Chain A
Amino acid sequence: MAIVARRFGATDGRVRTPDGGEHYIFGFVDLTGVPEEEIFARRGRAQLPGPLLEADEGDEVFLTLTNLGMPTRPDLDDSHTIHWHGFPNQIPLWDGVPEASLSVPVGRDFVYYYRPRDPGTYMYHCHFEPVEHIQMGMVGPLIVRPALEKRPEFAGRRFAYNDPTTEYDREYLVFVTELDADAHAAVAGVQGFDWTEYRPEYWLLNGRSYPDTVRSGPELPRQPYSGLIFASPGEKVLLRCVNLGYQQHSLTILGITLRVVGVDAQPLRGKNGEDLSYYKNTLYFAGGQTMDVIFTAPEPGVYPLFNRNYHKNTNAGRTFGGMVSEVRVE
């Protein structure tokens, strides 16, 4: 069991959409290993989604949150938290709900501690005024890897859960959110926003909308996760799907059937070991849910991945855009 020490900063920044739009965000930036005197320079450099937090089952995770403040909104002295969504038996101190323990003001640090016991795909987000801070981008992916991988007979192999039938060769994040440009503009302009008027016009996969999802270069430094999925024929591919939006989404990959092996960081096994995994062509899931699905890569080709709510395959009304990417088998 290892000690995992990470440090995330909370700050603001900007993301781009393929139609030339630029949108003000709040978010996290990875400060792990950054010298103290360089931390100030990371203000305004939030990424979407936030840095991946990963640990092995049984590790001790010490996650420091540093509130760097908002250079674009110096008037805004909101505090922040990190909520590990789905962590079993958590205590309020590390649960990140300001109304139930504490939050981190500008210029302060706080250390969250986790000793994960259940492998799977989770998410983290800020829970301070969550309707604003989550939509503004304070979200990130979270993976716990099973102890099975450390058993000598499974050395070098990778599994989603402590279950040999969840073995995979490659894994990818499919992290879905939405973006309402009016809400982001209001926050940038120090204006109130009626959240019941939330009406996104961008649908994001790993913080990007198509065609940015199928770029893999360095041109989007604040949106570092490409949406491309690569595999060779016959390889088993694990998709870790996270919905941290405010809408329900319906993901499909043309020509590929998905085996659902885990939901909400729980392997699909009954209490008596029954195999409850199942096959789906379309994954329908709501905000705050995760799904782990495995497929075997078919013959070489390009297999579109998209949201079957077709109106979400757009950027501000223009086709194609939004929640569209590609599985490239080559």
Chain B
Amino acid sequence: MATVDLWAKEGYLSTPDGNSIYFWGFAAAADAPAQLPGPLLLARAGERVTVNLTNLLAVPVSLVFSGQGRIEAGGGPARPQYDPDGRLFSFTDVAAPDGGTMSYSFTPAFPGTFLYHSGANPPVQVPMGLYGALVVRPADYDPALPAYKTAYGFGTGTEFDREYLLVTGEIDPELHRATAAGTPYPIHRFKPRYWTLNGRCAPDTMLPDGVAHLPHQPRGAMIMAQPGERVLLRYAGAGVDSHPLHPHGNHTRIVGLDGRLLQNGTADLSYKRFTVLVNPGQTYDQIFQWSGLGFTPENPIPTVLPNIRNLAVGEAGWTMWSGSPYLGRKGDIPVGVVSYNEAGEYHFMLHSHEEVKITNWGEFPGGMMTMIAIFSSLDPGVGVLT
């Protein structure tokens, strides 16, 4: 990546309960829709990055890049911007409203996961959706060579087979309504009703990338892998609240924090957790592996699976279950229940453990929730960040 163009625009988010929410976001092209989160910026450590921002909104917009030093804007060092009364209104140089542009450039020194977002009136503009993620590859990154397909470079113990990015956010519809209407909004009353992973609320999080009916939310949040694979999970806290994300199926090993490898010299500081608290502006790089318990039809489970007609399957009208205890097998699903299970894969929920946040305006299931699907066989092209 040498040069990326971003457009700040308006658009409408879709929530699974039927709401349509006005938002501000970054688009990848002049004629492309604004998206939440903004386009993923993929960079390489040591290589210059230039981001050209064109602002189509009616307010000034700027860009800040977390964890990056020596950012240049408009040809000189990026500087905070003050209004004529000396009051700060942007952390960096702005693109003027209604078509103004600003060019930012920097050279990422470290690999890892980072955030970018508007630095102009961020208490409003970040919750409105002007945020995205920046992933910096190590200088020696080479996905064709397993020892060099790493989060932090050769020999750092951060090799991975597949990788996924989960950007957290919150939506208070009242902020969006007031912004669209140009009416006052008391920002200290911020009260989210929706919580998002990659800009989507569950169950939309489990839909593929780029589904036609979500033009402004092109990025899915489904995690897919095979048993034993090393899955790099990148969490990025783009919103203003903290979220304890909990994956079922196994702990994660946190290998990087805020884009820095958890090592001091030869001392390993990585750690395993079953819940990590994703705080605003914070990122985690983690390795998730699910290896199973070894049960197969030849090595059967030690409990009796009762007649499933006596149990509850898919009470919502749908299930992700195969009907079988065994990976890669299909079993019985009661008549009338739709199973979204494709190939006998296992599904494990990944969600905020502040359970209020796995609702859409109070209704479960929704919000900050997705699934980790373990397939017995999965195309190697799945789980590639682009």
Q: Which A residues have a C-beta under 8 Å from some C-beta of B?
A: 60, 62, 79, 83, 85-86, 88-93, 95, 97-105, 108-113, 115, 127, 129-132, 134-135, 193-198, 246-248, 263-266, 268, 270-272, 274, 276, 285-289
11 pairs across A/B with beta carbons < 8 Å? A91-B327, A92-B348, A100-B319, A113-B302, A115-B293, A131-B358, A196-B361, A266-B271, A266-B273, A274-B268, A286-B354
Closest B residue to A88 by beta carbon equals B250
| B185 CB–A CB distance under 8 Å | no
Chain B residues, Cβ within 8 Å of A89: 249-250, 290-293
Chain A residues, Cβ within 8 Å of B321: 92, 99-102
Interface size class of B (residues with CB under 8 A): 35 or more
Q: Which of A112, A115, A130, A288 has the most CB of B within 10 A?
A: A288
Chain B residues, Cβ within 8 Å of A266: 251, 271-273
Q: Say how far A121's CB is from chain B's closest CB, in angstroms.
A: 11
Q: Are A289 and B275 in contact (CB under 8 A)?
A: yes
Chain A residues, Cβ within 8 Å of B157: 271
Chain A residues, Cβ within 8 Å of B269: 270, 274, 276
Closest B residue to A100 by beta carbon equals B347
Closest A residue to B358 by beta carbon equals A131
Q: Say how far B356's CB is from chain A's closest CB, in angstroms.
A: 5
Question: Quick one: given A103-B315, A194-B361, A264-B251, are A272 and B268 in contact (CB under 8 Å)?
Answer: yes
Contact of A110 among B246, B270, B311, B363 (CB under 8 A): B311
Contact of B311 among A108, A134, A264, A270 (CB under 8 A): A108
Chain B residues, Cβ within 8 Å of A271: 157, 268, 270
Q: Are A289 and B303 in contact (CB under 8 A)?
A: no
Q: Say how far A264's CB is from chain B's closest CB, in angstroms.
A: 4
5 smallest A-B Cβ distances: which pairs?
A288-B353, A286-B244, A86-B274, A194-B362, A288-B275
Chain A residues, Cβ within 8 Å of B330: none
Besides A98-B315, A266-B271, 8 new A-B residue pairs in contact (Cβ under 8 A), listed by A number? A91-B325, A93-B325, A131-B359, A246-B356, A248-B277, A271-B270, A286-B277, A289-B244
> What's the Cα separation between A276 and B272 when bound, in Å?
12
Within 8 A of A (CB), among B276-307: 277, 290-293, 295, 301-306
Q: Are B320 and A193 in contact (CB under 8 A)?
A: no
Q: Which of B244, B306, B355 has the most CB of A within 10 A?
A: B355
Question: Quick one: given A99-B319, A135-B355, A266-B251, are A108 and B362 in contact (CB under 8 Å)?
Answer: no
Contact of B248 among A95, A104, A111, A246 (CB under 8 A): A95
